Amino acid sequence: MTTPQSKGRAGISEVQKKALRAWSQSQQPRPTHASCIAWFQQTYNRRLTQSSISLILSKKYDYLDIRPASSSLRQQPPQWPALEQPLSEWLKKARENGEPVTGEVICNKARKIWPQITEYASHPVPQFSQGWLSKFKRRFEAGLSEGQHDGALPAAPPNQRKELQALRTICGEFKEEDIYNMDETGLLWRKAPFDALPAAPNELRKDRAHICLIVCTNCTGSDRIPIWAIGHKEMPNALRGVNLKAMGCEWRYNRQAWLDTRIMSEWLTMFYEHIGSRRVLLFLDNFHAHEAALESTPPPPNIHIQTFPANSPKEHQPLRLGIIHHLKQHYRKQWLGYLLAGFDSGQSPMQMMSLYHALCWITRNWRHDVGNGTVYKAFRKSTLVDPPIQYLTAPKLPDMTDIYNKVIRYNRGGLSTKTLEEWLNPVEEEFIDQADDTTWFNPTVDTSTLDEPVIHLPPQEFIPMPGEAISGIQTAMRYLLHQQTTTANDILYLETMEKVLRRKLMNDEHQRQHHAAAQLQTQSPAQAPIRIPGPAITERSSSSPAEPAFELSVQTPTREPAHAAYMEVQIPPPSPKPAQASIQAPTQQTTQPLSDVSTLAPATGPLKEPSEGVSYQPPRNQSKAGSDEDMEM
């Protein structure tokens, strides 16, 4: 026997409120409050007070009878429900047409609609604050997502049904693996469950820094185009020297960090080269940047590009039916793991988070975590590929409740904390503006700072030492050799990687020595060389000319070597910068099991000398290039 939950401080979702109102209105005669309390307790195993029942059945929640409800708790009713209905219809059409909609545009449209509403005409036009705008966006997105949870799609108007049928006919001429969909989406890559990065009044908030991701895949998920990321800066410091192609990523930039015609033209050129001579079909929405780029960069005859009809709902675009959602959910799981590891070690992970971490995670998620079943099911659900198969299964989304609760325990300063659902589905990602449009579009504001970490680290802090890379491979081999499921091919692959790294180290050492010798030949006597070739040792007569002044500080060579030797001038190392001395990146604790967080989050702490018992690269003045034993780590 289950015990009804006490009322406590738990909220009531809009879905529950709407169900109660619908049941009450369906009863003849209308039920008493006591009957409503009994029905709600029987349905949801929770007992409400009479005042709560009275409030839910009042006119305050009339809006639930005409629009979808949200499953989130403590959802505030709209302040002006008669305004939000036409405003939502306008916004939906604008987004379907690919029009860029900022917060200021939404507020201006609301001011124009306000006098047209009879019940509001006699009242002054509100200011429409940022708080109202944020809540309206949240309610709008909740309304769009309604219906996706139960798998049902709303019926399209007759003209749209004809256009969609034409698209299905076109798809029938292509194989499933030759049908592609491309779309762009925003990613708040540094957004945490609670705001811990305050900003000055005229400064862009770093916790709302976003990048735009261009995602494209075919119907079966067998051909996933590398992700293109669009930021604000030409090359963020954290990405300097990084082989982005090896990472599976391309980087572009503009002031708004969003897709424009120039970047879209470059992407189309890449797509044409990737496809080659294959005959394929690519679906795009009718975003203005897509259409303009198609005019300037038309496809070759073997590539057919089809834009979705104007005003077509997102429910017929495969990437919007779970693919992008799964990609972001897996990213946020790793972001939570990074936050928890940092907080547990006493660091400030939000201040040290960089785009290097973000791109490492999102590209790995795209390759490994978004399953082919998720991709294939989304294309089937869009009805573009017939017939829709109901029994298809796809990997479930990761459960982040436990790790989320552990992270928010570190919010000991009373900062505003978002619920897990709100944090996982931020409405701001689907709008190209920031909270303050005036600041955002001010040309004097440097938006490129949003692509940098709060605590600036030199680029070399992200690069492991060569010995650390080889030591990591050796650690992985030791672990796998104690697992019963490990195969010989697994070990062979790691051994091959270790051999490649050792050969690279050997070649680098040879090049370094050759470069040093070339410098010595071209160096003028007036310069103080770091390494000075000493002549063969002979007895020096008293009549020998005096040595140059720059050689007086060099230690006199011994008699043992009979060939030219190199001796190093003792140069004191520079003292560490104060800003770097106390910075340590969050790392996974050794008591915790290995996870993707520890393998993907690059070590960003200060470089340290290898400890005793750890394999490492010997100092360059002691290493001997020539054989594998000489390069043993």
Tell me the pTM: 0.60
Higher-scoring residue by pLDDT: 627, 458? 458
pLDDT at 123: 82
d(CA 264, CA 125): 40
Domains of the chain and CATH, by start: 1-76 (1.10.10), 78-146 (1.10.10), 170-451 (3.30.420), 458-511+587-620 (no CATH)
User: Contact, 41 vs 57, CB < 8 A?
Assistant: no
Position 579 pLDDT exceeds 90 = no
| Least reliable range by pLDDT among 206-215, 295-304, 373-382, 559-568 | 559-568
pLDDT at 157: 53
Mean pLDDT of 15-24: 85
Residue with tokens 């590539």: 303
d(CA 178, CA 279): 7
Q: What proportion of the chain, given as a percentage, has pLDDT over 70?
A: 68
For residue 381, CA distances in Å to 43, 153, 307, 317, 389 come to 31, 9, 18, 9, 8
Question: Sorting pLDDT into bands at 50, 70 and 90, what band is 201?
Answer: low
d(CA 61, CA 357): 44
Residues 6+ apart with CB under 8 A from 388: 380, 381
Angle formed by the axes of helices 81-96 and 130-145, nearest 10° = 70
User: Contact, 585 vs 605, CB < 8 A?
Assistant: yes
Q: How many CB atoms lie within 10 A of CB 318?
A: 27
Q: How many CB atoms lie within 10 A of CB 485?
A: 6
Position 373 pLDDT exceeds 50 = yes
pLDDT at 475: 94
Mean pLDDT of the chain: 75
* H or E segment and range at residue 532: strand 531-534
pLDDT at 232: 92
The helix/strand/coil state of 356 is helix
**Structural tokens at position 213:** 């991701």
Question: Sorting pLDDT into bands at 50, 70 and 90, what band is 150?
Answer: very low
d(CA 447, CA 204): 8
Question: Sorting pLDDT into bands at 50, 70 and 90, what band is 219?
Answer: very high
Position 50 pLDDT exceeds 80 = yes
Q: How many CB atoms lie within 10 A of CB 173?
A: 11
Which ranges constitute the DSSP H helices of 276-412? 288-296, 323-344, 349-352, 355-364, 372-381, 401-408
Q: Which amino acid is at 203?
A: E
**Residue range 494-514, pLDDT digits in tens:** 999 999 989 888 888 888 888
Mean pLDDT of 420-442: 63
pLDDT at 458: 63
Q: How many CB atoms lie within 10 A of CB 344?
A: 17
Mean pLDDT of 611-633: 40
Q: Between the ranges 213-222, 444-453, 518-527, where is the mean pLDDT highest?
A: 213-222
